[in-house]
Amino acid sequence: MEHANVVVVSTGGTIASRWQGSGYAAEADGQSVLAAAPIPDGVSVRVVDLFTVNSPRLTTAHQLAVVHAVHQALADPAVDGVVVTHGTDTLEETALLLDLHHHDPRPVVLTGAQRPLDAADGDAAGNLHDALLTAARARGAGVLVVFDGLVHAARGTVKMHTVAADAFADPSGAPLGKVGFGVVSRLPQVPRHPALPLPRPDAPAPRVDMVMHHCDADPLLLEASLAAGAQGLVLVGTGAGNATPEFTEAVARAVDSGVLVAVTTRVPAGPVTPLYTGGGAVDLAAAGAVLTGTLRAGQARIAVLASLLSADDPRERTALLRRIIETPAPAPRG
């Protein structure tokens, strides 16, 4: 392998966590995290300490800072790839936001750990080594999640287990490849939409809320979100994306007032599909909501957020969200 220069953007999470007396919390800087991992042969690393927080505490401002830090790193033509170390709780959300704004053949790889930095049986070192190797070799693969020896596309990949080492997967798809014995398997070229315009670092963060449907649910919390100023909503439906006629009416009112509404499902795998009326996805789509395909709640919210940050007109926002949700067509050959 030719020599590669990789930038590590450190943001905290379990991979940077140590015991605090009653529990673990992120406290280690990026250089300390890097010191715990073997660096692959032929790879030079520069660390950017962006912030050090547990990922449940991330805000849109934090996530936009990550997007800009990655773009700044890739502004250097000598950089061959970027690794973002990140807490696992919201890694899937930042991964999709990065993916939606990524326009470079050089890879961006997110990784983290399920066990803290000072754990004797920790997974931080292995995951970071594999991420560095992937960032050095996976040109053209886009934004990736590398965890427990597997390489996943950012889009569709979610946290599937609270504490297990193999925490990440796409419940509706398969990994792109594997990392092991110093080798990254050949990765397929994942079709991607054109990158969205880069938001300003200080762009005002629109409020985007999520509401879940369940037995006995009514639109009270949805209406409360609207009253709190939500510009975007994600309805987490049952089954293939279903709720009730009362929810459909509330969604129609929200859309009519300019709110961007998406519908996903609480079911782990499979697409949101317009099969049922009576408050089902057929009616929700007719009311103006956008069905999110196989994007689950966290990533559906990021898709809504990115649409709000990229357009001002409600119709443009809806069209953009529909484009984001659509599976990109493969690039023509030849």
Domain 208-325 has CATH 3.30.70.100: no
**pLDDT surpassing 70 at residue 327:** yes
Average pLDDT of the chain, as a whole number = 95
Cβ atoms within 10 Å, residue 71? 17
Is residue 189 very low, low, confident or very high in pLDDT (cuts 50, 70, 90)? confident
Higher-confidence residue of 191 and 32: namely 32
Higher-confidence residue of 220 and 202: namely 220
Mean pLDDT of 231-248: 98
Mean pLDDT of 252-270: 98
pLDDT given for residue 172 in this prediction: 95
pLDDT given for residue 98 in this prediction: 98
Superfamily grouping for domain 4-184: L-asparaginase, N-terminal domain (3.40.50.1170)
pLDDT digits (tens, 9 = 90+) for 82-135: 999 999 999 999 999 999 999 999 999 999 999 999 898 999 999 999 999 999
pLDDT digits (tens, 9 = 90+) for 203-217: 899 999 999 999 999
**pLDDT surpassing 90 at residue 39:** yes
Q: At what angle do helices 220-227 and 245-256 cross, to 10 degrees?
A: 10
Domain range list for the chain = 4-184, 208-325
The string of DSSP letters for 37-51 reads: SPPPTTEEEEEEEEE
Is residue 190 very low, low, confident or very high in pLDDT (cuts 50, 70, 90)? confident
pLDDT given for residue 330 in this prediction: 63
pLDDT digits (tens, 9 = 90+) for 7-24: 999 999 999 999 999 999
Query: CA-based angle 179:184:189, to the nearest 5?
Result: 115
**pLDDT surpassing 80 at residue 37:** yes
**pLDDT surpassing 80 at residue 281:** yes
**pLDDT surpassing 60 at residue 332:** no
**Spatial CB neighbours of 49, under 8 Å, sequence gap ≥ 6:** 10, 29, 30, 31
pLDDT given for residue 334 in this prediction: 43
Mean pLDDT of 157-172: 97
Tell me which residue of 204, 174, 173 sits closest to 295, measured CA to CA.
173
pLDDT given for residue 231 in this prediction: 98
pLDDT given for residue 329 in this prediction: 66
CA 53 – CA 17 distance, rounded (Å): 9
pLDDT given for residue 201 in this prediction: 84
pLDDT digits (tens, 9 = 90+) for 60-84: 999 999 999 999 999 999 999 999 9
Asked if 132 and 37 touch (Cβ cutoff 8 Å), the reply is: yes
Mean pLDDT of 309-326: 96
pTM strictly above 0.85: yes
pLDDT given for residue 202 in this prediction: 86
Q: Work out the end-to-end distance of the chain between its first and last CA atoms, rounded to an integer number of angstroms.
A: 27
pLDDT digits (tens, 9 = 90+) for 283-313: 999 999 999 999 999 999 999 999 999 999 9
pLDDT given for residue 22 in this prediction: 95
Active site residue 90: no
Asked if 34 and 128 touch (Cβ cutoff 8 Å), the reply is: yes
**Spatial CB neighbours of 95, under 8 Å, sequence gap ≥ 6:** 110, 143, 145, 154, 157
